[in-house]
Amino acid sequence: MSDFTEEQVLGKAYDARLMRRLLTYIKPYRKSALLAILCLIAGSALSIVQPYLTKVAIDRYIGTGDFTGLNQIAFLYILTLIFVFAFSYGQTWLINLMGQKTMLDLRMEIFQHLQKLDVSFFDRNPVGRLMTRVTTDVDALNELFTSGVISVFDDIFTLSGIIIALFLLDYRLAFAILCILPILLLVTLLFKIKVRDSYRRVRTAIARINAFLQENITGAAVVQLFGREKRQHRQFSRINKEHLDANMQSIFYYAIFFPLLEVVSALAIATIIWIGGHEVLAGTLTLGKLVAFIQYSDRFFRPISDLSEKYTILQAAMASSERIFKLLDTQPTISTTANPVARKVEKGSIEFRNVSFCYNPGEPVLNDISFKVGPGERVAVVGHTGAGKSTLISLLSRFYDVQQGEILIDGANVKDFDLQELRRSIGIVLQDVFLFSGSVSENIRLGNKAINDEQIIHAADTVHASSFIRKLDAQFNTRVGERGSSLSVGQRQLLAFARALAYDPRILILDEATSSIDTETELLIRDALAKLMANRTSIIIAHRLSTIQNADRIVVLHRGRIRETGTHQELLRLKGIYWRLYQLQYRDQPDPALVTSPKSLDS
């Protein structure tokens, strides 16, 4: 929600550095852009001709009663209409197409860049904020490209075209009209300044309204419990009133500005009548020219009031591009080294050598951790909440880099592997199973086209996931909701197992779910686990007694240090930390020996 306020801070309206960088995005489409500008120039030029045609009609044909000439002029006028139509269609089409393509490029670049960034970046930046970059900020730039830049061109070109036309018609009168221009500019400038202030007031007020609403909806229970409804409402009315007042102020400025513009344009017409009228009477100006002048002055003022509106678009776009570029300039600290020496993970041995790590300086999470896991071995890691178990996993997959010591796989430092290759050979099943919205099989395949349907079904069969999948409406094609809400915790676990199995990793990492699962599912999971771990090096953050008892070794992590290592029986005899943990966490679980053997499930 902090986005509400953050996003509404507006900076300066033009920044050459940002603009130059923005223009590089248009570069691939410069031909379209150029063509669009040509269309624009041609279109504007032709529309400027139209009042001139009226002038010719009045002076040359209507005055003299020349019907044929009048027909010709009408025909010419229609021709200009057709061409203006064609040119402005071409311009709109080209420019919007370019805008959309540029946005696509930009959006893809942001998205691709996000894929490269470190996990710690995502720890720091809430999803909502990053989403704004991909959506709102990109849109602000689209607005700039399609309506901003181009119409500024249009306005400037039309304006200068009309000035030229006026001078060609009659330079004295043209000069008189131009004298009004400073008045217009002054009015517009004053208006712009005033409106900017009240616009800012409105934005601030609306941000406060939104923040207040959001807070009071989320905290509705507290408001109700303490009977604060009336006072909160009064407070809201005050903020709301500020919004109203700010708007009333801006209405006032608009209400003055628009009529004032018309007064200025009436001033122009009055000038034409007075000065032009004299010239007509003196015979130095034709009536047709006078009429053309009136028509031009009407078109003259539109671009100027238009230009002032472009200011906000520009301002918003600058702020957005600044944020986007800041994101794009954030470099990942964790990436594949220039020349990764280590090839594939083959045997799958793991070694932690004197590893220390902290998320925040001064708060060590892991302290001088050393242990080895041989190929095909199963090691269980146990410890109290916050002992640093999950951090071990994150370090192995290089979600974060160790600060001291090193982690070796197959004898090579993890930093020397190709990052993608490394992660591909480590299969992770996390406690909180994240499912993407998509079908069941899509969630197992996770976009890996190398995995075919049979492999998916096989993986699901092996981990006993198919029995529930086949009961779903569309079986493997059933769509699971956002975050997999339509599936139970146990079912999601099984799906995650199938996912890991389909990827067939050398190393398997499990963060077991602690949530209580019914005995039947528990049995299925236990058997699935056994199959999953066969022939793989496994590190398990263990919550299940069965896992612990079957592990080759147990590592007890306490406050970031390894305190005990050994098998279940050895550690129990020690009567140390493990023994206490065992009493606390595992004692109530059914003894694996006592529940039906998983083998019976295969039959």
Partner 1 sequence: MSERKYPLTYLLPYLGRYRFRMILGFCMVILTVVASMFSPWVLKYVIDGLNEGFDRARLLQFAAIILGISLVEGFFRFWMRRILIGVSRLVEYDLRNDFLAHIQKMSLSFLQSRSTGDIMSRATNDLNAVRSVLGPAIMYSMNTVTLIIIATYILFRLNWQLTLLAYIPLVLVSITVKKFGGEIHDRFESIQEQFSSLTTKAQENISGIRVVKAFAREQSEIEDFRLLNFEYLRRNISLIRLWGVFYPLMTALLGMSSVALLWFGGRQVIDQRLTLGEFVAFMGYLAMLTWPTIAVGWVINLFQRGSASMGRILEIMDVPPDIQDEPGSSAPMPVHGSIEFRNLTFSYPRSSGPVLRNISLFVPAGTSLAIVGHTGSGKSTLVNLIPRLFDPPPGTVFVDGKDVRDWPLAQLRKTIGSVPQETFLFSDTIRENIAFGSDSDISDEKLDWAAQVSQIADDISSFSKKMQTYVGERGITLSGGQKQRVAISRAVAILPKILIFDDSLSSVDTYTEERILGELAKIMNERTSILVSHRISTIKGADQIVVLKDGEIVERGTHDSLTAFDGVYADLYRKQLLEEELATT
Q: How far apart are CA 332 and CA 334, in angstroms?
A: 5
Q: How far is CA 269 from CA 165, 276, 305, in A?
A: 17, 10, 18
- Largest Cα–Cα separation, the chain: 121
Q: How far is the CB of 299 from partner 1 (least distance, A)?
A: 10
Q: How far is the CB of 509 from partner 1 (least distance, A)?
A: 9
Taken as a whole, the chain contains a residue count of 603
Q: How far is the CB of 152 from partner 1 (least distance, A)?
A: 17
Rg for the chain, CA atoms, rounded: 36
Judged by CB, which is closer to partner 1: 78, or 156?
78
Judged by CB, which is closer to partner 1: 189, or 263?
263
Judged by CB, which is closer to partner 1: 112, or 597?
112
CB of 533 closer than 8 Å to CB of 527: no
Judged by CB, which is closer to partner 1: 240, or 486?
240
CB of 443 closer than 8 Å to CB of 499: yes
- Give the Cβ contact number of residue 18 at 10 Å: 19
- Give the Cβ contact number of residue 518 at 10 Å: 10
Instruction: Work out the angle between the directed axes of helices 287-329 and 67-116 (0-180°, nearest 10).
Output: 10
Q: How far is the CB of 133 from partner 1 (least distance, A)?
A: 9
Q: How far is the CB of 596 from partner 1 (least distance, A)?
A: 25
Q: How far is the CB of 5 from partner 1 (least distance, A)?
A: 9
CB under 8 Å, gap of 24 or more: what pairs does 324-332 form?
A: 324/106, 324/110, 324/133, 324/137, 324/138, 324/141, 325/18, 325/21, 327/110, 327/113, 327/114, 327/130, 327/133, 328/109, 328/110, 328/113, 330/113, 330/117, 330/121, 332/116, 332/117, 332/118, 332/121
Judged by CB, which is closer to partner 1: 12, or 446?
446
Phi, psi of 391 (to 5 degrees): -60, -40
Judged by CB, which is closer to partner 1: 100, or 519?
100
Helix (H, G, I), strand (E, B) or coil at 541: strand
Q: How far is the CB of 16 from partner 1 (least distance, A)?
A: 30
Q: How far is the CB of 30 from partner 1 (least distance, A)?
A: 19
Give the closest residue to 29 by CA, choosing from 101, 87, 108, 104.
101
With a CB cutoff of 8 Å and minimum separation 6, the contacts of 70 are 57, 61, 62
Would the CA dihedral through 6, 11, 17, 21 be positive or negative?
positive
CB of 488 closer than 8 Å to CB of 471: no
Q: How far is the CB of 600 from partner 1 (least distance, A)?
A: 30
Judged by CB, which is closer to partner 1: 18, or 422?
422
Q: How far apart are CA 457 and CA 510, in angstroms?
A: 22
Phi, psi of 448 (to 5 degrees): -85, 105
Judged by CB, which is closer to partner 1: 19, or 430?
430
Bridge partners of residue 557, in order along the sequence: 383, 562
With a CB cutoff of 8 Å and minimum separation 6, the contacts of 355 are 366, 368, 369, 370, 395, 402, 404, 405, 406, 407
Q: How far is the CB of 69 from partner 1 (least distance, A)?
A: 9
Q: How far is the CB of 245 from partner 1 (least distance, A)?
A: 9
Judged by CB, which is closer to partner 1: 584, or 597?
584
- How big is the CA angle at 519 (ends 516 and 523), to the nearest 5 degrees? 110
Q: State the burial class of residue 38 (Cβ atoms within 10 Å of its Cβ: 0-12, 13-18, 19+).
A: middle
Q: How far is the CB of 15 from partner 1 (least distance, A)?
A: 27
Judged by CB, which is closer to partner 1: 237, or 452?
237
Amino acid occupying residue 468: F
Judged by CB, which is closer to partner 1: 313, or 502?
502
Judged by CB, which is closer to partner 1: 131, or 185?
131
Q: How far apart are CA 586 and CA 584, in angstroms?
A: 6
Judged by CB, which is closer to partner 1: 104, or 193?
104
Q: How far is the CB of 421 from partner 1 (least distance, A)?
A: 8
With a CB cutoff of 8 Å and minimum separation 6, the contacts of 99 are 142, 145, 146
